[in-house]
A and B are shown apart, each in its own frame.
Chain A
Amino acid sequence: MLATIYALLFYGATILLVVGIAMRIQRYARIPAPLKIPTTPAPTTTGGVVLRMAREVIFFESLFKSNKWIWLFGWTFHMALWLVLARHVRYFTFDVWWWVQIVQPFGTYAGFAMVAGLIGLWARRFLVDRVRYISSPSDHLILALLVAIGLSGLTMRFVAHTDIVAVKAFMLGLMRLQINELPADPILLTHLGLVAILMIIFPISKLMHAPGVFFSPSRNQVDNPREQRHLAPWAAELEK
């Protein structure tokens, strides 16, 4: 029963996540940028734009220029999240890939860094008057959700172990369209339930910043308006 509910939950969440993001990305890709608006310092070549975008998404370059505290907490959280996600790959492959084995110890402790970063970001929503002013309930709730996911995961790893072999069997089963037994561990069920919620809200929330940043015209345009004429299809209509 429990396994069936969670299986359906994850199938549904996965569909919403994938289809939702795909539809949104399709929309961003379809809508034209009518004018050239790259922000300085703007690269003059496509290669330069790729490098700029890489610096933005790997090092959070603009954020670093902007505010060292937000950068510290935000960068720590995101990089730790990648390590944690990489570590979790082991639950979805029968043989654990070599790089996942290498990541394993880092991914384990990155969980602490991830929660620390989140708490830092959350503290700013209370302590800095400007950030308090711009925070909506949803901004707090998303942080709460991520912190709860992190803490429940850390609890299973360091305090009250769950039957991880059974969890892996459940996940591998889902990927083969079969529903295996899921341990009735409340912490595990909380962890998985919150992850499913995160997947469901992703395409309809500010979490869309992750794919969205690649579509930001001020960051992804080449600075070459004098050399190359840029014209949106709807603007071309005006010339007829």
Chain B
Amino acid sequence: MADGDNQIPKLDDALQVPCIKPGSMDGLQPFLASPEHQEALGFPGELVPDWKERALAKMEELAEKNRAFQVYLDICVKCGACTDKCHYFLGTADPKNMPVARQDLLRSVYRRYFTFAGKYFPWLVGARDLTEDVLKEWYSYYHQCSECRRCSVYCPYGIDTAEITMAARDILASVGMGQKYSNEIIGKVHSVGNNLGLNPKALGATLEGLEEDIEDDTGISVRIPLDEKGADILLVTPSADFFAEPHIDGLIGYAKVFHQAGVSWTLSSYASEAANFGLFIGNYENMRLVSQRIRKAALDLGVKRIIFGECGHAWRVAYSYLNTLAGPWDFLDQNYPIPQHILEFTWNEIQKGTLTFDKSKNDHLNMTYHDSCNVARGSRMGDMPGGQFEIPRNVIKAVCNNYVDMDQDTIHEATLCCGGGGGLLTDDLMDLRIKGASPRMTALQQVTKDHGVTHMAAICAICKTQFSKVMPKYGYEMDSVVSVHQLVSNAIILDGQETEDDAPEAAEAEE
């Protein structure tokens, strides 16, 4: 990884708009999926000879199947409102990273083959032929979009570049140009059940180790059950929660909350992954297959409720799509939201008064909160609009004394993507990830300067991994990003736990 300091953009404020630098990210592209990884998902192994016909046929098919794709290709007026809204444009200044320009890479081809003006007056409307160079350009720039939907919030017609990006990736995969990172991972979910390829035995051993850690720390036996038939709650969480920091501290937090709430719960080794990378590649069938594993696990284990752990895109698929992809959920307890977010559960318990906290355990942390993009703009929590913003903050404030928000223009639905979402969390795109993180990092640096903020909480496995990797480039320790349930875990007092002269808190929570 050749990442000198020169590639880190210096922004005066988080949303500073650069002058365009055409070509500055030209040619950047993630590794292509190998034939084996392509074919496992039902795609051709490599670029097919009749790629042009098949790409156009796929485009036509998607326009027939997805209203958003069809309408968004037609109605953009090129007003320019979105041009300064993408974190990748702010970080790279490449004009093709402006949302409208990114859409135009595909729209120009759509116009050429499917509209009157583009067929007969291509020069007038910026229409162009589909060539191999265009295909390569798609592959490059549709993998410089994290499908975070920030542009969609600001578009006067709600045009969502993520819909175009997903369609473009689906077209690319269908002619043999899938992305290695996403397709390899989806293959593992289909065959093993999680993104890591962690088999049931290894998973069981990991969870046992965690139970021991909790007991060592607290003196209390807290269970993390796996594949327990008859449990009330199935917890589906990103597999990063099983092994990576700071994710794992979040998992410990969920376990402690469930323990205190006195509910019976279990993980499933068959559906041991909340994330659904089918979303990233824009492929309905793959997204559906991944979701169906959760349905099967819920039926096999006989649970009454499903709760999702901290995972951003997973929560979008869970909240917005799971009913569509794997419903109807008539066999679950209808008295609870289906599915429910772990933060909804924890916040309910806090309101019921079943949890006790020693907030001073988090006094060494000056917190802020990063709204993860797909939670913020593609889902909700609780009963009210905006619950996805309020509930995580309420929980943080219930367990921490020091909390401050970042700049209003960079939180809630205006939040900036971490820079690694939507299938870009791969080392071959590290340059893009560092640059794309710069608006968020600049907003964070501002609250560090003004309010002494030391740590940022997030509820997305990708955000957590991305930030622990890029934060050191911006002058923070890699453990400056924390799970929300890690904060809960730090502060929660378990029944029977000795509160004074305690064993030290989890090591990662210390300065």
Are B116 and A204 closer than 8 Å at their CB atoms?
A: yes
A161 at the interface (CB under 8 A from B): no
Given contacts A35-B324, A134-B104, contact A124 B80 (CB under 8 A): yes
* A38-46, A80-88, A103-111, A149-157: which lies at the interface: A38-46
Q: Is the CB of B71 within 8 A of A215?
A: yes
Contacts of B158 in A (CB 8 A): 39, 56, 62, 213, 216-219
The distance in angstroms between the C-alpha atoms of A35 and B162, with both chains bound, is 13
If A28-B70, A134-B104 touch, whether A216 touches B157 (CB-CB below 8 Å) is: yes
Q: Does any Cβ of A come within 8 Å of B84's Cβ?
A: yes
Number of interface residues of A (CB under 8 A): 62
The answer to whether residues A212 and B324 also contact, given A37-B160, A205-B117 and a CB cut-off of 8 A, is no
State A67–B79 Cα separation when bound (angstroms): 10
* Given known A-B contacts A31-B65, A31-B66, A70-B80, A37 and B98 have beta carbons under 8 A apart: no
A122-163 residues at the B interface, CB under 8 angstroms = 124, 128-131, 133-139, 141
In the complex, which residue of chain A has the Cβ closest to the Cβ of B20? A129
Does B123 interact with chain A (Cβ within 8 Å)?
A: yes
Q: Is B163 an interface residue (CB 8 A)?
A: yes
Minimum Cβ distance to chain B for residue A227 (Å): 9
- Complex: chain A residue closest to B152, CB-CB: A39
Residues of B within 8 A of A176 (CB): none
State whether B75 touches A212 (Cβ < 8 A): yes
Least CB distance from A8 to B in Å reads: 21
Residues A40 and B65 in contact in the complex (CB < 8 Å), given A225-B321, A226-B323: no
Q: Please, how many angstroms separate the alpha-carbon atoms of A216 and B74 in the complex?
A: 11
Closest chain-B Cβ to A98's Cβ sits at a distance in Å of 33
A234: which of B65, B68, B339 is its contact (CB, 8 Å)? B65
Contacts of B376 in A (CB 8 A): 40
A197-240 vs B, CB cutoff 8 Å, 1 = contact: the mask equals 00000001110110011011111000101101111101100100
CA distance A40 to B152 in the complex (A): 9
Interface contact B20-A133, CB-CB below 8 Å: yes
A36, CB-defined interface residue at 8 Å:
yes
Residues of chain B within 8 A (CB-CB) of A66 are 81-82, 85, 154-156
Residues in B whose Cβ lies below 8 Å from that of A205: 117
**Interface presence of B64 (CB below 8 A):** yes
With A206-B75, A208-B74, A218-B158 known as contacts, the answer to whether A134 contacts B67 (CB < 8 A) is no
**B320, CB-defined interface residue at 8 Å:** yes
Q: Does A33 contact B (CB under 8 A)?
A: yes
Q: Is the CB of A117 closer than 8 A to any CB of chain B? A: no
Binds A, one of B197-205, B256-264, B378-386: B378-386
Given A40-B153, A42-B385, A141-B124, decide whether A226 and B319 contact each other with a Cβ distance below 8 A: yes
* Residue A63 is within 8 A (CB to CB) of chain B in the complex: yes
A contact patch SS: helix
Is the beta-carbon distance between A37 and B284 smaller than 8 angstroms? no
Task: Give, as a whole number of angstroms, the nearest-CB distance from B406 to chain A.
Answer: 17
B: number of interface residues (CB 8 Å): 71
Is B112 positioned at the interface, with any CB of A under 8 Å from its CB?
no
Assess the B153–A231 pair: CB atoms within 8 A.
no
Bound: A54/B182 CA distance, A? 39
If A134-B98, A230-B323 touch, whether A223 touches B385 (CB-CB below 8 Å) is yes
* Most interface-central of A39, A131, A229 (chain B CB within 10 A): A39
Could you say which residues of chain A place their CB within 8 Å of the CB of B125?
136-138
Q: Is the CB of A136 within 8 A of B126?
A: yes
Cβ-closest chain B residue relative to A62: B156
Q: B residues within 8 A CB of A63? A: 79, 81, 154, 156
Query: Within the complex, what minimum Cβ distance (angstroms) separates B285 from chain A?
Result: 7
Which of the residues A62, A137, A229 comes within 8 Å of B154, measured between beta carbons?
A62
Judge whether B78 and A28 touch: CB under 8 Å: no
Residue B149 at the A interface, CB < 8 A? yes
Is the Cβ of B101 less than 8 Å from the Cβ of A133?
Answer: yes
Q: How far is the CA of A136 from the CA of B156 in the complex (A)?
A: 20
List B contacts of A121 (CB < 8 A).
79
Known: A40-B153, A44-B385, A204-B116. A28 touches B321 (CB 8 A): no
Most chain A C-beta atoms within 10 Å of own C-beta, residue among B70, B149, B376, B412: B70
The CB with the most chain A CB atoms within 10 A, among B66, B81, B285, B377, is that of B81
Q: Which of B22-77 contact A (CB under 8 A)?
A: 22, 63-68, 70-72, 74-77
The CA-CA distance from A82 to B124 in the complex, in Å, is 28
Question: Complex: how many Å from CA A70 to CA B413?
Answer: 21
B16 is an interface residue with CB less than 8 A from chain A: no
Q: Which residues of A contact B388 (CB under 8 A)?
A: 40
Q: In this assembly, does B19 line the interface, its C-beta being within 8 Å of a C-beta of chain A?
A: yes
Q: Among A36, A62, A212, point to the contact of B320 (Cβ < 8 A).
A: A36
Contacts A34-B65, A134-B104, A136-B125 given; indicate if A28 touches B19 (C-beta within 8 A).
no
| A218-B160 in contact (CB<8A) | yes
Interface residue? B472 (CB, 8 A): no
Q: Contacts A37-B320, A130-B98 known; A43 to B385 CB distance under 8 Å?
A: yes
Q: Are A37 and B68 in contact (CB under 8 A)?
A: yes
Of all chain A residues, which has the CB nearest B327?
A229
**Cβ-defined contact, A204 with B115, below 8 A:** yes
Q: Does B219 contact A (CB under 8 A)?
A: no
Instruction: Give CA–CA (A114, B22) in the complex, Å.
Output: 34
A235 and B284 CA atoms in complex are apart in Å by 9
Distance in angstroms between the alpha carbons of A131 and B84 in the assembled complex: 10
Q: Which of A39, A56, A206 contacts B77 (CB 8 A)?
A: A206
A32 within 8 A of B: yes
Tell me which residues across on chain B come within 8 A of A226, comparing CB atoms: 319, 323, 337-339
- B288 interface residue per 8 A CB criterion: yes
A39:B160 contact, CB within 8 angstroms: yes
From B67, B75, B159, B323, A208 is in contact (CB under 8 Å) with B75
Check B209 for interface membership: any CB of A closer than 8 A.
no
**Bound Cα distance from A130 to B75, whole angstroms:** 19
Instruction: Known contacts A130-B95, A133-B101, A213-B157; decide if A33 and B68 are in contact (CB<8 Å).
Output: yes
Pairwise interchain contact B68-A217, C-beta atoms closer than 8 A: yes
Collect the chain B residues with CB atoms within 8 Å of residue A128's CB: 80
The answer to whether A216 and B319 have CB atoms under 8 Å apart is: no
Rounded to whole Å, the gap between the CB of A214 and the closest CB of chain B is: 9
Show 12 A/B contacts (Cβ-Cβ < 8 Å), sorted by A: A33-B67, A44-B384, A60-B156, A134-B78, A137-B125, A138-B125, A209-B76, A219-B158, A223-B380, A226-B323, A231-B324, A238-B285
Closest 10 CB pairs of A and B: A212-B75, A66-B154, A218-B158, A136-B126, A131-B80, A219-B158, A130-B83, A66-B81, A209-B75, A63-B156
Interface residues of B (CB under 8 A from A): 17, 19-20, 22, 63-68, 70-72, 74-85, 95, 98, 100-101, 104, 115-117, 123-126, 149, 152-160, 163, 284-285, 288, 319-321, 323-324, 327-328, 337-339, 376-378, 380, 384-386, 388, 412-413
